[in-house]
Amino acid sequence: MSDIYKLKYTKLYADEDGETHFKEEEFVMNSKDYSPPAPPVWVAPRTRATGSTVVAFPVGWYGDFHPAPKPQWMMILKGTMEVEVSDGEKQTFLAGSIAFLDDLGSKGHISKSIGDEVAIVSVTEVE
């Protein structure tokens, strides 16, 4: 096992004009004895969470332009979500996808549940 692992995620952010965009970022995860006596695993930097929930989006659900209520991590557990930012770019998030939403006070983004099954999303709000 190497000392580090790089985990990519998508960041949704707002520029100074309130337009929203995507960019790819990554965690540098370090090898750590996280739960001895189990072998080491890679661990991301800690973040202080202020709330966590699981959200179920019905098939065909559509949320017109809205900003995230707080900075938040979204991890797709099941199903498929499509997100469109104000610059017109769209991204599809499948089960296993990770995104960080940080578009407070902006034009926001459009969210859709696409596909033929309910989309289940773990949401963790952070400071």
Q: How far apart are CA 41 and CA 124, in angstroms?
A: 22
Q: Of the candidates 13, 7, 8, which has an alpha carbon nearest to the alpha carbon of residue 83?
A: 13
Q: Residue 36 sits in a domain of what CATH number?
A: 2.60.120.10
Residue 36 belongs to domain spanning: 4-126
- Rounded CA-CA distance 112/79 in Å is 11
pLDDT in tens, 32-70: 999 999 999 999 998 899 999 999 999 999 999 999 999
Task: Tell me the average pLDDT of the chain.
Answer: 97
Q: Give residue-wise pLDDT tens across range 85-97.
A: 999 999 999 999 9
Chain-centroid distance, C-alpha 34 = 23
Tally of domains within the chain: 1
Sign of torsion over alpha carbons 118, 112, 80, 52: negative
